Amino acid sequence: MTQKVIEMKQIVKDFSGFKANNGINLDLQKGEILALLGENGAGKSTLMSILSGLLEPTSGEIFVKGKKVNITGPQVAKKLGIGMVHQHFMLAESFTVLENIILGYETTKGIAIDFKKARQQVLALANNYGLSIDPDQKVSEITVAQQQRVEILKVLYRGADILIFDEPTAVLTPQEITEFIKIIRGLANEGKSIILITHKLEEIRAVADRVTIIRAGKSVGSFEVGKVSDDKMAELMVGRKIEMKLTKPAAQLGRPILTVKDLQVKRKNGSLAVNNLSFTIHAGEILGIAGIDGNGQDELVEALTGLRKINGGKAVIKKLVINSMSTREITQFGVAHIPADRQKYGLILPLSLADNIALQEYYQRPFSKLGIINFKQIYNHAKKLMKKFDIRAASANLPAGELSGGNQQKAIIARELDRDSDLIIAFQPTRGLDVGAIEYIHKQLLAQRAKGKAILLVSYELDEIMQLSDRILVLHNGQESGEVKPETTSETELGLLMTGIKKAGVKE
Amino acid sequence: MIQVNARVKRILVPVVSVLAGFLIGAIIMLIWSYNPLTAYGSMFTSALGNMNGLGETLREATPLIFTAIGFAIASAAGFFNIGLPGQAQAGWLTSIWIVLANPTMPKAILLPLAVIAGAVSGAIVAGIAGVLRAYFGTNEVITTIMLNYIVLYSCQYLMQKVMSDHLRIDTDTTKTISRNGSLHLDWLSNVFGSSRISAGIFLAIIAALIYWFLMRKTTLGFEIKAVGLNPDASRYAGISTKKNIIVSMLLSGGFAGLGGVVLGLGTYQNYFTQTTSLDIGWDGLSVALLGSSTAGGIVLAAFLFSILKIGGLGMQTIAGVPYEIVSIVIAAIIFFVAINYIIGKLFKTKANSALSTSSSVKVNKADGSISGKEPQ
C-alpha cells in the first residue's frame, strides 16, 4: 500500500489579481519520483514556494503524510521534512564542504562546533546515498556536480525525506546527468520522495515515475511516465501542438563570413582563456560551439564582439580584420549579438521595451538627428517589430523588466536580427525559456541560416547544439578538443570531448 | 499599504518626507515650549510674505538648482558625485578672478567668458574623478571627497600666494567685481525690494530646461541613462561606458561650477576664503534627492530649501525660535528623503514589476509574470 506523503488540493495563489496558481492538484507517493512539468510562468515555482513555506496559498489545502498542515514558513516546511535543492546553489564558496553542510545546524559541544561528530554524520549520510564527497575541500574548488551533491547532503542533513529539485540538470554535463539520475534513483529507493521540476522530457523519461503537468496556473494532468508520449506531454504543457523535431534542409554554403585564426584571448588574471583557436563559418552555416561552462566561451564571444581585447591571432569578418575595432564598429559592420545573459547583458530592464529594441540604432537616422532622439520613431519601430517577432507586451512603453523571459529574449532577437547582419553570434539563445519560446527562437535561427547568414551558436545545451548546428566545435580549456558533425556524433562522444578525456582529430 | 501608481509615488515620497520633517520640527519645538504654528507662520511670511524675502529666497535657490542638476546628471550615469562643493568653489574663484583681472573688457565678452570659465573649472575638477574612474576604476566617492579638500586648500593658496595685490583687499578677500562682470540687475533687485537676487535665477531656469532636454531628448542623455542603469548591457550595445562616465562627470562638474559662478557674480560680488566645503554643494545633493532628480522637482526642491533657510532666519527674529530648530527640520527632511526607501514601502506600486530584482527569486518569478504575457 503506497502512502501519499504530500497531497495538495485546489491550491490558489493570488498576487493582487493575478492568479499564479489557480486550482492546482498534486500528490506525491512515498518513494516515488514525480516530475513537475510546465512552461516558465506556469506556476511551478510558486507551487513549490508554497510547499517549502516561502509563500502562503490564498486558498487550498495541503496534507503532509495524511495530516492537514499550514506551512507558514520555511522552518515549518523543514520540520515536516520538506527540503529544496535550488537551481542556483546557496553555498558559501570559501567554506569547506563539511562547513557548508552543517551551516546553521551545527552540532555543538559546549560553545564549540563538534566537527568530529558532524563529520561522522555527514559521511554516514554520504555513504548511505552514494554521494561521494570530500568534506574538507573548499566549495570554490569543487565542480558544479559536486556542489550539487553538497546541496543534496545539506537537505538530507536537515532531516528531509521529501526533496524538491528545481531544474537540477541545467548546469550539468551529459555524464554528470547520468550520475545525477543514479543518485536520485538511489534516494527514491531509500524511501525518499522526490519532486523534480524540469523542462526536459527526456529526463522525465529517464528518471520519473509519474509526471504532473501544469499550464497557466492549473494542473492539466498527471500520468504514469510509461503511459504518455512526449508529444502529448509537450502539447499539454504548451496548450498546442509542438514540432519536436525541426526540419533542417541541407546547408547552402556561401563565402566565408567569419574566419578566426590562432586566436588567443586572455582572462583578467593573464591566463589564456582562448588558446590558439581557429575556425571558419560560411554564409548559410551554423557552427555550434559545445563545451562546459567556463572553457573559454565567454571570452571567445567577447573577443569577437569587441568587448575584450584579442591578445593573439586574428579574427576576420568578410575580409576585414576586427582585432582592434570597437563593439559599435563591429556591430555596425554586420554582426548581430544575442548575449548569454539577457537581463544582464541584453537589456536595460528599467528602460522601456521600445528603448531596448532601439539600443543598437538609437543614434542613427531615422531614430535621431543631430543628437536629438525622435522617440516617436523608436516607438513605431518597436510596434512594428513586436508584431513581426511576436513580442507580447501590453505596450512598447512597458519597462523591459516587466516582460516574461521569452518575450525579453524575443525583444533581443528582434533587435539583433532585424538589422540584417551577415554574422549572428548567439550565446545561449534559449537559456531558461520554455518549449514554445525555444521552438520559436530555433526557427528564427534556421530562417536566418536559410537567408544565407553565418551563425555562431554557443550553447551549453547539447540538444540545441545537436539540432541546429551544421558542424560542432568542442571547446575544452580554451582549445579545440574536436570538431564533429551532429549526424555522426553522439552525446557521449561530445561529453568526452567536452571534458577533455578524448581528443578527436579534426575531421574533414 | 496604500496602492498608487509609480508616477504618483514619485511625488508622494518627497512630499511625505517634507511633511514628516516639519512634524519632527514641530514636536521638538513643543518639547522646548515654542509654538510651532507661530514659528512656521513666521518662517513662511519672512521667506515669502514680502518682495525682499521672496527675492532672497530665489537668490538662495539659484546656486542650489545648479549644484542639484550637477548631482543629478552624475547620478543618472551611476556616479555618486559628492565633490560638488569643490567644483562649485573652483567655479566661484575662477569667475571672480577673470572678472577682476580684465577690468577693461566689455561686458558682452567679459560676463560670458567668466561664466564659461567658471563652468570649465568645475568640469575639470570633476573630470579628474571621471577619468580616474573610467580608466582605473577608482571609487568616485573617495576621489571627489578628496578633491573637495584639494580645491579648498588650493583656493587658499591661490588667494594668498598667487593673486596679485591689486585684485584683493587682503589675503582672504578679493575686491568687489565691476558691474561689467556682475550678474546683478538693478531692475530685478528693485522689483524684489532691493534683495540680492540676480540674473543667475534666469540662468538657473535655463539650466533646468537644458537638463530636461538633455536627459529626455538627446542621444547623449539616453546613453548616460543607459550606462547608469546597466553598464554591462550598454557596453554590449556598443555604448562607450568610459566616454559616458567622463562626459557625465564633466557636465556634472560644469553645472556645479556654475553654481559657484552665480554665488560669486550674483550673490557676493567677490570671493573670500572658505574654511569648510561650500554648503551649496552639500545642499545641492539633498535638493537633487528631494526633487527625484527631475528638472521640475529640482527647481521646486531648491525653492523649498531656500524657504527653510531664509525663513529660518525670520523664525529666529520674529518667533524667537533658535536657528538650530530650522537646521533640525532641514536635517529631518533630508533624513526622510534618504530613507525614502522605507517611505516608499508605504506605497505599493500597482503592477508589480520584476525590476525589484532581489534575493527573493521565487516571489519575483511569480510577480514577473503578472504583467508580462506568456509566449504561446
Best mutation target among A238, A390, A403 (most B Cβ atoms within 10 Å) is A403
Counting residues of chain A whose pLDDT is more than 90, the rounded percentage is 47
Confidence of residue B345 (pLDDT cuts 50, 70, 90): low
Q: Which domain holds residue B350?
A: 1-34+321-376
The answer, for A18 touching chain B at a CB cutoff of 8 Å, is yes
Looking at CA atoms only, how far is residue B77 from chain A in angstroms? 13
Mean pLDDT, rounded, for B309-326: 85
B11 and B80 fall within a common domain: no
CATH code of the domain covering residue B217: 1.10.3470
pLDDT for the residue A368: 93
Sign of CA dihedral B347, B349, B354, B355: negative
Of the residues B319, B342, B365, which one is the last residue of a structural domain?
A: B319
Closest to A399 (Cβ–Cβ): which among B226, B353, B376?
B353
Looking at CA atoms only, how far is residue B113 from chain A in angstroms? 26
Put simply, the answer to whether B374 touches A45 (Cβ < 8 Å) is: no
Q: Residue A391: is its pLDDT beyond 60?
A: yes
Best mutation target among A359, A361, A374, A398 (most B Cβ atoms within 10 Å) is A359
Of the residues B293, B319, B345, which one is the last residue of a structural domain?
A: B319
* B306 found inside a domain: yes
Looking at CA atoms only, how far is residue B362 from chain A in angstroms? 6
Cα gap A454→A456, rounded to integer Å: 7
For A197: left if phi > 0, alpha if psi spans -120 to 50, otherwise beta; the answer is beta
Q: How many Cα neighbours within 13 Å face the side chain of A506?
A: 7
Q: What angle do CA B231, B356, B242 make, to 5 degrees?
A: 10
B67 and B157 fall within a common domain: yes
B198 and B185 fall within a common domain: yes
Tell the burial category of A324 from Cβ atoms under 10 Å away from its Cβ (0-12, 13-18, 19+): exposed
Q: Which is nearest to B115 in space by CA: B188, B168, B181?
A: B181
Cα gap A29→A23, rounded to integer Å: 20
* B41 found inside a domain: no
B63 and B187 fall within a common domain: yes
Cα gap B323→B313, rounded to integer Å: 7
Closest to B375 (Cβ–Cβ): which among A88, A373, A437?
A437
**Does the ipTM exceed 0.90?**
no
Helices (H), chain B: 6-31, 36-48, 51-76, 84-101, 107-136, 140-157, 186-191, 200-217, 219-229, 231-236, 241-261, 279-290, 295-319, 323-338, 340-346, 361-371
Put simply, the answer to whether A371 touches B218 (Cβ < 8 Å) is: yes
The answer, for A395 touching chain B at a CB cutoff of 8 Å, is no
For B174: left if phi > 0, alpha if psi spans -120 to 50, otherwise beta; the answer is beta
Closest to B219 (Cβ–Cβ): which among A18, A49, A371?
A371
Provide the CATH number for the domain formed by A256-498 in this structure. 3.40.50.300
Let me know if the fold of A4-238 is the same as that of A256-498.
Answer: yes
* B179 found inside a domain: yes
* B40 found inside a domain: no
Q: Tens digit of pLDDT for each residue in A144-184?
A: 888 888 988 998 888 889 999 988 887 777 778 888 898 88
Report the chain B residue with the minimal C-alpha distance to residue A353. B372
B202 and B295 fall within a common domain: yes
Nearest 10 degrees: Cα torsion A357, B135, B72, A376:
-20
Query: Three-state SS across A82-127?
Result: EEEECCCCCCCCCCEHHHHHHCCCCCEECCEECHHHHHHHHHHHHH
CA distances from B103 to B106, B159, B162, B165, B179 (A): 8, 18, 18, 15, 10
* Domain A4-238 of CATH type 3.40.50.300: yes
The amino acid at A119: R
| Number of domains composing chain B | 2
pLDDT for the residue A412: 95
The answer, for A377 touching chain B at a CB cutoff of 8 Å, is no
Backbone angles phi and psi of A361, in degrees to 5: -130, 0
Cα gap A59→A54, rounded to integer Å: 15
> Which three cell numbers, joined as nine digits, stand for B132?
580616474
Mean pLDDT, rounded, for B220-239: 94
Spatial contact of A40 and A404, defined as CB atoms under 8 Å apart = yes
Whether the model pTM is above 0.80: no
Put simply, the answer to whether B235 touches A339 (Cβ < 8 Å) is: no
Q: Tens digit of pLDDT for each residue in A361-378?
A: 999 989 999 999 999 999
Closest to B218 (Cβ–Cβ): which among A327, A372, A440?
A372
B197 and B256 fall within a common domain: yes
> Contacts of residue A402 in chain B, CB cutoff 8 Å?
351, 353-355, 368, 371-372
The answer, for A398 touching chain B at a CB cutoff of 8 Å, is yes
> Contacts of residue A434 in chain B, CB cutoff 8 Å?
375
Q: Tens digit of pLDDT for each residue in A324-356?
A: 999 999 999 999 999 988 888 999 999 999 999
B26 and B120 fall within a common domain: no
Residue B184 forms beta bridges with which residues?
Answer: B198
Closest to B373 (Cβ–Cβ): which among A16, A238, A392?
A392
* B45 found inside a domain: no
B191 and B303 fall within a common domain: yes
pLDDT for the residue B84: 97
Cα gap B265→B180, rounded to integer Å: 10
Domain boundaries, given as residue ranges, for chain A? 4-238, 256-498
pLDDT for the residue A312: 93
Counting residues of chain B whose pLDDT is more than 90, the rounded percentage is 66
B3 and B13 fall within a common domain: yes
Spatial contact of A223 and A210, defined as CB atoms under 8 Å apart = yes
Put simply, the answer to whether B366 touches A13 (Cβ < 8 Å) is: yes
Q: Tens digit of pLDDT for each residue in A257-288?
A: 999 999 999 988 888 999 999 999 999 999 99
* B5 found inside a domain: yes
B127 and B186 fall within a common domain: yes
Mean pLDDT, rounded, for B36-52: 91
pLDDT for the residue A384: 95
B175 and B76 fall within a common domain: yes
Q: Which is nearest to B70 in space by CA: B201, B260, B238, B243?
A: B260
B63 and B99 fall within a common domain: yes
Nearest 10 degrees: Cα torsion A232, A233, A237, A240:
-20
Q: What angle do CA A464, A467, A472 make, to 5 degrees?
A: 80
Of the residues B277, B297, B319, which one is the last residue of a structural domain?
A: B319
**Mean of the per-residue pLDDT values for chain A?**
88
Spatial contact of A404 and A11, defined as CB atoms under 8 Å apart = no
Put simply, the answer to whether A15 touches B367 (Cβ < 8 Å) is: yes
CA distances from A289 to A206, A276, A286, B58 (A): 26, 15, 10, 64
Looking at CA atoms only, how far is residue A434 from chain B in angstroms? 9
The helix/strand count (H/E) of chain A reads as 16, 24
Place of cell 547552402: A252
Q: Which is nearest to B360 in space by CA: A263, A444, A382, A74?
A: A74
